[in-house]
Chains A and B, each alone.
Chain A
């Protein structure tokens, strides 16, 4: 019977009209509208309390089939707002308010902080740079080559022990190379990005990432970021790494830091 307000993002009050005219549809197909309070506006849509009140929502979140399309819709709204507006603070999935007054209360109580965040994001985008090991490429160092020749000529017992040693060397060398490329990458993107944040790796992700960085980059410097990434990949071609660039994202990461 009752409806709730789902909040996607916060922008300046001067953007309220653009939000209203965007004709965006939210997580449940409801129209995205702007709730204005003083200098700020929140992009919201209506959702049913039977699905989005605390208990049902947290129940739903365990259900991947329920979550997937809604997470995509949340990002779609934020992605479009990020395209349309100069500055947006994206809010994490599932921030629900009783009514417009709840949204206004938030905008009021955090007005100063939100205005600062908006200013720090104006004209900028977030990107993800991830360094991945190219699984197909075997490592070959001099030390390893020598070890392998020794194994080939050794009697079984000794070859077994040398094999163990070989595994160790492979691991150590790989760790060292990973650390090197991560450091080189951090420095390279750091010349272009205003802010760089080294992400914890996604546990159990299918692609074996060595390092991931979120970076905040002025929108007009996107080509520079792309060429820095290209350069990085080229310079380490022999090293067996791939560099992946993903974006532009609304500033989910940097909108929330500090």
Chain B
């Protein structure tokens, strides 16, 4: 009933990486080493992470109509 925002610290690893690597503000200047080919890495990771996610929470419970928040994200 109440929408309890899910804190970023409760986000799944996949969501976190989605934000930090895929969406993160990329500032590549000459002086930067930076992560090369972020998109490629992200694509690969995406596969790895989603399978890990699936392992960590086997078909999440019916996310309690009762008290708690709506999400079933694991704590990392």
Contacts and interface: CB of A to CB of B under 8 A. Distances in A.
Interface of A: 4, 7, 52-54, 57-58, 61-62, 64, 67-68, 71-72, 74-76, 79, 89-98, 101-103, 105-106, 109-110, 117, 127-128, 136, 202-207, 214, 222, 226-227, 229-230, 233, 242-249, 252-253, 255-256
Given A58-B36, A93-B24, A245-B3, 4 more contacts: A58-B37, A90-B24, A233-B70, A248-B5
A111 B14 CA distance: 32
B33 A54 contact: yes
A204 B45 CA distance: 11
A61 B24 contact: no
8 contacts: A61-B41, A64-B45, A64-B52, A202-B46, A203-B46, A203-B50, A242-B70, A252-B20
Contacts of A249: 8, 19
Interface string B31-67: 1111111100100111111111110010010110000
Contact of B23 (A102, A105, A252): A252
Nearest to B26: A92
Interface residues on B, range: 35 or more
B53 A91 contact: no
B17 A204 contact: no
Contact of A109 (B21, B29, B37): B29
A9 to B, nearest CB: 9
Contact of A256 (B2, B10, B26, B49): B26
Contact of B33 (A53, A76, A79, A252): A53
A220 B75 CA distance: 27
A64 B5 CA distance: 27
A102 B28 CA distance: 11
Which of A53, A71, A222 has its CB near the most chain B CB atoms (within 10 A)? A71
Nearest to A136: B62
Contacts of A90: 24-25
Nearest to A9: B25
Contacts of A76: 9
Nearest to A114: B27
A243 B15 CA distance: 16
A68 B2 CA distance: 30
Nearest to A94: B35
A110 B14 contact: no
Contacts of B29: 105-106, 109-110
Contacts of A253: 19, 23
